[in-house]
């Protein structure tokens, strides 16, 4: 009887030990399974992130590819004075880190310029000449040798544009210095820059590099602006439309006053400087009958403030 009891105890002990072992193995197995599931989930997350990044990069590449489709992207030094342009190319004409893109057609004519954002020139941190330019001269595009045409920037130095032929067109001097082109540039400067900038340049034929028309579209402080004008002398256009009759009187007064002061050598500004502080403001000059701008050669220039030192006040 005692033997049977011992056998029974041993049998129960063996069953108990086997049961504990199975429980422990099951617990370990469950832990390993959980760990594998976590690892798998992390792996899938990483894979998803990589896939999304790849799609993003691919979309970006496709977008740029679509933008430049049909054009060859080339690099041209910003100060290249050559007037030559390659046909069907796109060139970055932004100074420094700016990205402004210029496009030519099959005739090598500059037909389009775009910029997501116009960033103004910073003469405190950028290499700018005493005249406020990045380069001492501009590209010699065929046509600029004419006396009535300027080497006109599509995006001015003050707006961060370079001076090679992909940013220069032969532009009427009055239009460039005192007309719609100058007004547009001044508006962008005063606004601190612009966004969604686009210039469309058209020509009378494919044989010339002298544009006939400009159309500028850009956004200033949330407002979409469209400036469109011919490449002509605005004064002559206004005269042909009968819009300069009143200005003619001011111009004559300005001329006669200028001659009068020059002839007597006194340069008396008392009739212009109404507050008597020795400085003449644009408002005072206009009130005295002088037409703007006042250039460096004008006798009043030295009494006025030329903030951008471009030789003109009131442009």
Answer for the pair 139, 54: CB distance below 8 angstroms, yes or no: no
pLDDT of residue 215 exceeding 80, the answer is yes
Distances (CA, A) of 60 to 63, 70, 113, 116, 187: 5, 18, 20, 15, 32
For 86-103, write each residue's pLDDT tens digit. 999 999 999 999 999 999
The four Cα atoms 104, 110, 115, 118 give a dihedral, to 10 degrees, of 150
pLDDT of residue 270 exceeding 90, the answer is no
What size, in residues, is the chain?
A: 315
Answer for the pair 242, 266: CB distance below 8 angstroms, yes or no: no
Q: How many helices (H) and strands (E) does the chain have?
A: 6, 11
| Candidate from 18-27, 56-65, 178-187 with smallest mean pLDDT | 18-27
| Candidate from 1-10, 117-126, 222-231 with smallest mean pLDDT | 1-10
pLDDT band with cut points at 50, 70 and 90 for residue 192:
very high
- A 10 A CB-CB count for 293 gives 20
For 283-297, write each residue's pLDDT tens digit. 778 777 777 788 877
Give the separation between CA 109 and CA 209, rounded to whole angstroms.
Answer: 6
Q: Higher-confidence residue: 258 or 271?
A: 271
Answer for the pair 151, 83: CB distance below 8 angstroms, yes or no: no
In terms of C-beta density within 10 A (0-12 exposed, 13-18 middle, 19 or more buried), how is residue 153 classed?
A: buried
Nearest to 127 by CA among 100, 103, 157: 157
Q: Is the dihedral of CA 106, 108, 112, 114 positive or negative?
A: positive
Global pTM value: 0.60
Domain ranges of the chain: 72-236, 245-313
Distances (CA, A) of 219 to 157, 190, 197, 242: 19, 13, 7, 32
Answer for the pair 206, 88: CB distance below 8 angstroms, yes or no: no
Strand ranges inside the chain, DSSP E: 72-74, 89-92, 100-104, 110-118, 149-153, 168-172, 194-202, 213-220, 223-230, 294-295, 312-313
| Candidate from 18-27, 61-70, 183-192, 268-277 with smallest mean pLDDT | 18-27
CATH class of 72-236: alpha beta
For 30-79, write each residue's pLDDT tens digit. 444 443 433 334 444 333 333 333 333 444 455 778 889 999 999 999 99
User: What contacts 252, CB < 8 A, 6 or more positions away?
Assistant: none
3-state secondary structure of 199: strand
What integer is the mean pLDDT of 246-270?
A: 48
- A 10 A CB-CB count for 102 gives 29
Give the separation between CA 169 and CA 201, rounded to whole angstroms.
Answer: 9
């Amino acid at each position: 009887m005692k033997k049977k009891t011992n056998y029974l105890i041993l049998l129960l002990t063996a069953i108990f030990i086997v049961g504990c072992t199975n429980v422990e193995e099951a617990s370990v197995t469950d832990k390993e399974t959980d760990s594998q599931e976590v690892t798998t989930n992390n792996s899938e997350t990483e894979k998803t992130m990589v896939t999304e990044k790849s799609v993003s990069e691919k979309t970006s590449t496709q977008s740029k590819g679509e933008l430049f489709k049909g054009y060859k992207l080339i690099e041209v030094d910003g100060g290249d004075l050559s007037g030559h342009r390659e046909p069907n190319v796109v060139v970055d004409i932004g100074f420094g880190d700016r990205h402004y893109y210029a496009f030519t057609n099959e005739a090598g004519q500059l037909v389009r310029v775009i910029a997501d954002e116009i960033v103004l020139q910073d003469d405190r941190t950028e290499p700018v000449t005493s005249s406020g330019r990045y380069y001492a001269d501009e590209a010699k595009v065929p046509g600029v040798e004419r006396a009535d045409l300027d080497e006109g920037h599509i995006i001015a130095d003050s707006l961060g544009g370079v001076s090679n032929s992909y940013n220069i067109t032969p532009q009427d001097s009055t239009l460039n210095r005192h007309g719609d082109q100058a007004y547009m540039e001044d508006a962008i400067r005063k606004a601190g820059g612009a966004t969604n900038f686009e210039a469309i340049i058209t020509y009378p034929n494919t044989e010339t590099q002298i544009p006939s028309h400009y159309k500028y579209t850009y956004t200033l402080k949330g407002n979409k602006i469209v400036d469109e004008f011919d490449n002509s002398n605005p004064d002559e256009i206004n005269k042909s439309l009968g819009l300069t009759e009143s200005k003619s009187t001011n111009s004559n007064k300005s001329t006669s006053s200028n001659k009068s002061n020059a002839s007597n050598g006194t340069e008396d500004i008392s009739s212009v400087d109404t507050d008597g502080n020795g400085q003449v403001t644009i408002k005072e000059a206009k009130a005295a009958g002088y037409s703007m701008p006042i250039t460096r050669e004008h006798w009043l220039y030295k009494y006025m403030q030329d903030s951008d030192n471009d030789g003109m006040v009131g442009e």
